[in-house]
């Protein structure tokens, strides 16, 4: 039983990084595909399209920060349950934000291609989603202080 | 190409914004460039798209000898995109719009009964047309408000106005369906359908302009001939060209 709890603890420890990486990959791939398409149809603004498409990469960075804050040496059965809960839920939040950010960024890139003056404001929804990921990061850090070990 | 595939995102993002149907602006991309972009589609998707694009374009049913053949082509195209309900619905709506306009023209040309409509199949629209032949808008004016304007234009013999009203309605139908699709097969198909409409309208204008120019030239030449016979000055020519 203790072994299973420890396994779950390690699972929760790496979940923010793994799920954050998956979210970032899907988000960047979606937004990047839109950026590549937009570049076929425009003569300028390549840099900002690609720049915007990289925004979801922050999810994996947040995941790494959460992982370090949850790390316990050694991992104990007392800490494992808390690490599992906080890590998995934070990871799911990062995964979801990454995917959705990719979608809104793809839309923003297409819209800004037709109307370049709205490029800045079209990134606002993605920035709001980023804010939600930051909430998940900050409160995961706060709660990690309450986990024994 | 699978639904939601990243290639659809790239392809849809590479297509320009088309804008309004009757704006004076030129098409934002050439047919050649469009074909080049569509080459990103996989073969099966391309075949499905071509089928839809062909049947919904004017020349697509131009070679049909009978109305039943036109209906059959539309139904086959609609069946080929059964996996995409919004697209199939637009194809069906396009057929219904054609039916309504054809019925208006038949009635204007003096058809006393809806006998020709029998070949249009058993769709709800064909049934409504047959049942309400004597009604101004076949009892469909509430559901399809554009019919009232189309009927008035048809009765007045305003062919260009009618064409414009019908194209506006078709464009609106596509726009409404396209709202829910941004990066998928439907998005690409709706783009191509709108592209064809704008292309057709612009070509239509060019045809009109060419016809008018020919008429002006003929009347000018005829005027010059008459004037030349009376007084060999050719003075009537400038006046005709400025008409």
Q: Work out the minimum CA distance from A17 to partner chain B, whole angstroms.
A: 24
Are the Cβ atoms of A34 and B37 closer than 8 angstroms? no
User: Tell me, what's the pLDDT at B206?
Assistant: 59
Instruction: Show which of residues 34-93 on chain B sit within 8 Å of chain A, judged by CB atoms.
Output: 37
Residues 6+ apart with CB under 8 A from B164: B22
The answer to whether A118 faces chain B, any CB pair under 8 Å, is no
Residues in chain A with CB shorter than 8 Å from the CB of B12 are 34, 37, 110
Asked if A43 and A116 touch (Cβ cutoff 8 Å), the reply is no
The answer to whether A70 faces chain B, any CB pair under 8 Å, is no
SS3 track for A17-56: HHHHHHHHHHHHHHHHHHHHHHHHHCCCCHHHHHHHHCHH
Higher pLDDT, B101 or B225: B101
pLDDT band at B24 (very low <50, low <70, confident <90, very high): low
Asked if B100 and B129 touch (Cβ cutoff 8 Å), the reply is yes
Residues in chain A: 149
Whether B232 has a pLDDT exceeding 50, the answer reads: no
Three-state SS at B136: coil
Task: Say how far apart CA B15 and CA B9 lie, in whole Å.
Answer: 10
Q: Work out the minimum CA distance from A127 to partner chain B, whole angstroms.
A: 21
Residues in chain A with CB shorter than 8 Å from the CB of B29 are 41
Give the best residue of B2, B8, B13 to mutate against chain A (max A CB count within 10 A): B13
User: Tell me, what's the pLDDT at B233?
Assistant: 34
Whether B224 has a pLDDT exceeding 70, the answer reads: no
User: Tell me, what's the pLDDT at B238?
Assistant: 29
Task: Say how far apart CA A141 and CA A61 lie, in whole Å.
Answer: 14
Task: Say how far apart CA B51 and CA B145 lie, in whole Å.
Answer: 30
Higher pLDDT, B175 or B214: B175
Nearest residue, CB atoms, A37 vs list B10, B17, B29: B10
Q: Which residue of A has its CA nearest to B13?
A: A37
What is the value of ipTM here, to two decimals?
Answer: 0.86
Are the Cβ atoms of A106 and B14 closer than 8 angstroms? no
Long-range contacts of B155-162 (CB under 8 A, 24+ apart): B155/B108, B160/B208, B162/B101
Neighbour count for residue B104 (Cβ, 10 Å): 23
Whether B216 has a pLDDT exceeding 80, the answer reads: no
Whether A125 has a pLDDT exceeding 50, the answer reads: yes
The answer to whether A50 faces chain B, any CB pair under 8 Å, is no
User: Tell me, what's the pLDDT at B64?
Assistant: 76
Average pLDDT rounded to a whole number, residues A102-122: 94
Highest-scoring range by mean pLDDT, A19-28, B15-24, B208-217: A19-28
Whether B235 has a pLDDT exceeding 70, the answer reads: no
Residues in chain A with CB shorter than 8 Å from the CB of B7 are 33
Task: Say how far apart CA A55 and CA A138 lie, in whole Å.
Answer: 19
Q: Work out the minimum CA distance from A38 to partner chain B, whole angstroms.
A: 5
Task: Say how far apart CA B28 and CA B34 lie, in whole Å.
Answer: 10
Domain residues of chain B, as ranges?
A: 6-213
Give the mean pLDDT of chain B: 82
Asked if A22 and A97 touch (Cβ cutoff 8 Å), the reply is no
The answer to whether B30 faces chain A, any CB pair under 8 Å, is no
Task: Say how far apart CA A11 and CA B136 lie, in whole Å.
Answer: 71
Task: Say how far apart CA A56 and CA A50 lie, in whole Å.
Answer: 12
Q: What is the DSSP letter of B62?
A: T
Whether B228 has a pLDDT exceeding 90, the answer reads: no
Triad A16, A20, A22: Cα angle to 5°: 130
Are the Cβ atoms of A33 and B182 closer than 8 angstroms? no
The answer to whether A112 faces chain B, any CB pair under 8 Å, is no
Q: What does chain B look like in DSSP terms, one character per residue?
A: --TT-HHHHHHHHTSPP---TT-SSPPSS-HHHHHHHHTTS-HHHHHHHHHHHHHHSGGGGTT-SSHHHHHHHHHHHHHHTTT-HHHHHHHHHHHHHHHHHHHHHHHHTT--S-GGGGGG-S-HHHHHHHHTTTSTTTT-TTT-THHHHHHHHHHHT-HHHHHHHHHHHHHHHHHHHHTT-SSSHHHHHHHHHHHHHHHHHHHHHHHHHHHHHHHHHHHHHHHHHHHHHHSTT-THHHHHHT-
Q: Which tens digit of pLDDT belongs to each residue from B155-195?
A: 998 988 898 899 999 999 999 999 999 999 999 999 999 99
The answer to whether A40 faces chain B, any CB pair under 8 Å, is yes
> What is the Cβ-side half-sphere exposure of residue A34, based on CA atoms within 13 angstroms?
29
- Structural domains of chain A, ranges and CATH numbers in brackets: 2-144 (1.20.120.610)
- As a whole-number percent, the residues of chain A with pLDDT over 70 amount to 100
The answer to whether A34 faces chain B, any CB pair under 8 Å, is yes
User: Tell me, what's the pLDDT at B212?
Assistant: 66
Nearest to B97, CA basis, from B73, B126, B76, B121: B126
Nearest to A137, CA basis, from A77, A84, A68: A68
Q: Which tens digit of pLDDT belongs to each residue from B115-125?
A: 778 888 888 88
User: Tell me, what's the pLDDT at A90?
Assistant: 98
> What is the Cβ-side half-sphere exposure of residue A28, based on CA atoms within 13 angstroms?
15
Task: Say how far apart CA B73 and CA B76 lie, in whole Å.
Answer: 5
Average pLDDT rounded to a whole number, residues A25-47: 94
User: Tell me, what's the pLDDT at A32?
Assistant: 96
């Amino acid at each position: 039983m203790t072994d299973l709890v420890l396994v779950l603890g390690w699972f929760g420890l790496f979940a923010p990084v793994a799920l954050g990486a998956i979210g970032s990959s899907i988000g960047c791939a979606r937004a990047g595909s839109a950026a590549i398409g937009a570049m076929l149809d425009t003569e300028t603004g390549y840099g900002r399209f690609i720049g915007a498409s990289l925004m979801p990469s922050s999810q994996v960075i947040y995941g790494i920060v959460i992982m370090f804050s949850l790390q316990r040496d050694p991992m104990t059965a007392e800490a494992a349950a808390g690490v599992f809960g906080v890590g998995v839920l934070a990871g799911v939040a990062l995964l979801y934000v990454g995917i959705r950010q990719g979608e809104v960024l793809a839309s923003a890139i297409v819209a800004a291609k037709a109307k370049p003056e709205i490029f800045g404001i079209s990134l606002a929804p993605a920035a709001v989603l980023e804010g939600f990921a930051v909430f998940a990061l900050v409160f995961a850090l706060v709660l990690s202080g309450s986990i024994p070990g | 190409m699978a639904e939601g595939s990243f290639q659809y995102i790239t392809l849809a993002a590479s297509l320009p914004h088309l804008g309004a149907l009757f704006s004076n602006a030129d098409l934002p991309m050439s047919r050649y460039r469009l074909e080049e972009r569509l080459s990103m589609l996989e073969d099966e998707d391309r075949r499905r798209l071509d089928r839809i694009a062909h049947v919904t374009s004017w020349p697509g049913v131009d070679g049909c000898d009978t109305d039943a053949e036109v209906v059959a082509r539309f139904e086959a195209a609609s069946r080929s995109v059964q996996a995409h309900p919004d697209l199939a619905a637009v194809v069906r709506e396009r057929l219904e719009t054609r039916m309504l306009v054809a019925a208006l023209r038949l009635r204007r040309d003096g058809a006393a009964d809806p006998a020709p409509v029998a070949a249009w199949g058993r769709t709800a629209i064909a049934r409504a047309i047959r049942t309400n032949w004597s009604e101004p808008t076949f009892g469909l004016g509430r559901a399809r408000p554009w019919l009232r304007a189309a009927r008035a234009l048809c009765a007045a013999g305003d062919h260009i106005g009618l064409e414009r009203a019908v194209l506006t309605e078709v464009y609106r139908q596509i726009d409404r369906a396209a709202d829910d699709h941004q990066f998928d097969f439907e998005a690409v198909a709706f783009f191509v359908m709108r592209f064809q409409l704008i292309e057709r309208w612009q070509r239509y204008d060019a045809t009109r302009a060419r016809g008018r120019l020919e008429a002006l030239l003929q009347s000018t030449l005829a005027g010059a001939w008459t004037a030349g016979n009376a007084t060999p000055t050719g003075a009537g020519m400038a006046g005709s060209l400025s008409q």
